[in-house]
Structure 1
Amino acid sequence: MTSPSRLPVLAGLPLAVGSGLAIPVQGRINGALGARLGDGIAAAVVSFSTGLLVMILISLLLPRGRAGLARIIPAVRERAFPRIYVLAGGIGALFVFAQTFTVGILGVALFTVATVTGQTVSGLLVDRLGLGPAGRKSVTGIRIIGCILTIAAVGWAVSPRFAASSPGTEADGGAAALLLPLLLPVVAGFLMSFQQAMNGTATVHYGTPIAATLVNFIAGCLVLWTVLGIKVAVAGPGNPLPGEWWYYLGGPMGCVFIGLGALLVRTLGVLVTGLGMIAGQLLGSLALDVFLPVP
């Protein structure tokens, strides 16, 4: 087994921030696609399917990708890591579905705070349990303070948008009407740290994050296509696919932060990787609001 080399922390943190920049862009694209199709499940399927196509091409064209492909089945057969780790893509599928289904209900502000809260809390837990390739990391006062400050900073940064994020909630029952939609991104954010730990551990045994990302998209597609098949059988298909090319960039954006996340957790740990991505997510969200505001 050839393990991927560890990145220096000073190089890993900027990469974590950079990968986080892709998350709000993906959210904007997937949210728009969900509205266009009138179906959050179908939009999530499109996003994951395009990401899978990208990863298949990368895996076949790059030597490291082909080497990683050759290690997937032996690693799973030999139980180099718990076999349930190959299902990490199901968590990614839940996150993408949460984007497409709840952003239109909650708005970007509440969605961001909900996912950041879940991800930050679970980052502490996953590191404490030692589920990631970096091993166990103690829950210190500094790490707890960092989590609290991160959640507070994100909440403060998006607070001006709270009022505009949830139109019509008073008529629909106020805050109570947001409770169930709010739980979905909280749970999706909470599970993201587990996904990063699972993908990071698999990356060590595959020798490359390319293979881990490919397996992630395969598992996510299996989940989403199954759910979509049930939905179509019950309620029928939604709107036809749009012709504009940019609607299909959500999947490639997912390749970026899933692949980098799988690589970085070995060096930075799950919590610090998550906090770096959160910083990038916040910067990306602010940049979108300034340069490409929603009409």
Structure 2
Amino acid sequence: MSLTYWLALGAVALGGAGIATQAPINATLARQTADPVSAAAISFGVGFVVLSAIVLARGTVPSLSALAPLPWWAWTGGALGAIYVWAAAWSVDKIGVVSLVAALVFGQLLAALVLDAMGAFGMASREITPQRIGAVMLVAAGLVLSRF
């Protein structure tokens, strides 16, 4: 396996650690504002400012002509992220970080099986195999065990 492969895995693992850390931070915002939707909006607002500053510093602002041909669904990623941030801020105090992340990974894997099988959004189609189903089942078992 190449260095790029290992760097990509490391980046995703770092992102996963950030997601686990983000949930209790946003729960604190939700408690303080008394509204998980407000907390999610604040979180996204801060993220927007940070990412906008990086885009401007790099000089990589896309032109409107580059954005115009995008399919409608290409605009939904932020909304899907907002749903996650709201759900995590609302639920982490109720179920804990381990169960939150286990449920997150379980949901991601279920969706990933379907998306891979469909070859959704221009991705290569990948077969649903017994091994992949087993991986999802192991995460489901971990989710159940996290609640005992």
- Tell me the TM-score normalised to structure 2 length: 0.84
Distance in 2, Cα, partners of 1:37 & 1:98: 15
After TM superposition, give the deviation of residue 109 of structure 1 in Å.
4.3
Q: 1:118 aligns to what? A: 107
Say whether 1:29 aligns with 2:22.
no
Per-residue CA deviation, residues 85-114 of structure 1 (Å, 9 max, x unaligned), is 112100111111111222233333443333
Contact 2:103 2:143 in 1 (8 A): no
Per-residue CA deviation, residues 121-180 of structure 1 (Å, 9 max, x unaligned), is 111111111125542111122222222223323543x34xx5xxxxxxxxxxxxxxxxxx
Q: Could you say what secondary structure the match of 2:128 adopts?
A: coil
Distance in 1, Cα, partners of 2:78 & 2:37: 15
After TM superposition, give the deviation of residue 8 of structure 1 in Å.
3.5
Q: 1:89 aligns with which of 73, 78, 83?
A: 78
Q: 1:76 aligns with which of 50, 67, 70?
A: 67
2:8 maps to amino acid:
G
Q: Could you say what secondary structure the match of 2:126 adopts?
A: coil
Distance in 2, Cα, partners of 1:109 & 1:14: 20
Per-residue CA deviation, residues 243-281 of structure 1 (Å, 9 max, x unaligned), is xxxxxxxxxxxxxxxxxxxxxxxxxxxxxxxxxxxxxxx
The structure 1 segments of at least 4 consecutive aligned residues displaced by more than 6 Å after TM superposition are none
Per-residue CA deviation, residues 32-59 of structure 1 (Å, 9 max, x unaligned), is 1111221111111110000000011001
Q: Could you say what secondary structure the match of 2:120 adopts?
A: coil
1:62 maps to amino acid:
R
1:142 maps to amino acid:
Q
Distance in 1, Cα, partners of 2:84 & 2:90: 10
Distance in 2, Cα, partners of 1:56 & 1:109: 31
2:17 maps to amino acid:
L
Greater relative CO (CA pairs within 8 A, separation 6+): 1
Contact 1:76 1:83 in 2 (8 A): no
Per-residue CA deviation, residues 213-255 of structure 1 (Å, 9 max, x unaligned), is xxxxxxxxxxxxxxxxxxxxxxxxxxxxxxxxxxxxxxxxxxx
Q: Could you say what secondary structure the match of 1:139 adopts?
A: coil
Distance in 2, Cα, partners of 1:155 & 1:51: 32
Q: 1:195 aligns to what? A: none
Say whether 1:104 aligns with 2:93.
yes
After TM superposition, give the deviation of residue 10 of structure 1 in Å.
3.0
Distance in 1, Cα, partners of 2:68 & 2:18: 34
Distance in 1, Cα, partners of 2:140 & 2:134: 10
Q: 1:231 aligns to what? A: none
Q: 2:12 aligns to what? A: 16
Q: Could you say what secondary structure the match of 1:137 adopts?
A: coil
- Tell me the TM-score normalised to structure 1 length: 0.45
Structure 1: runs of 5 or more not aligned: 1-6, 163-295
Structure 2: runs of 5 or more not aligned: none
Distance in 2, Cα, partners of 1:92 & 1:152: 25
Q: Residues 132 and 19 (structure 1 numbering): CA distance in 2 closer, same or farther, change over 3 Å?
A: farther
Matches within 5 A, 1:22-171: 22-63=18-59, 66=60, 69-71=61-63, 73-79=64-70, 82-132=71-121, 134-156=123-145, 158-159=146-147, 162=148
| Aligned positions, number | 146
Distance in 2, Cα, partners of 1:21 & 1:62: 26
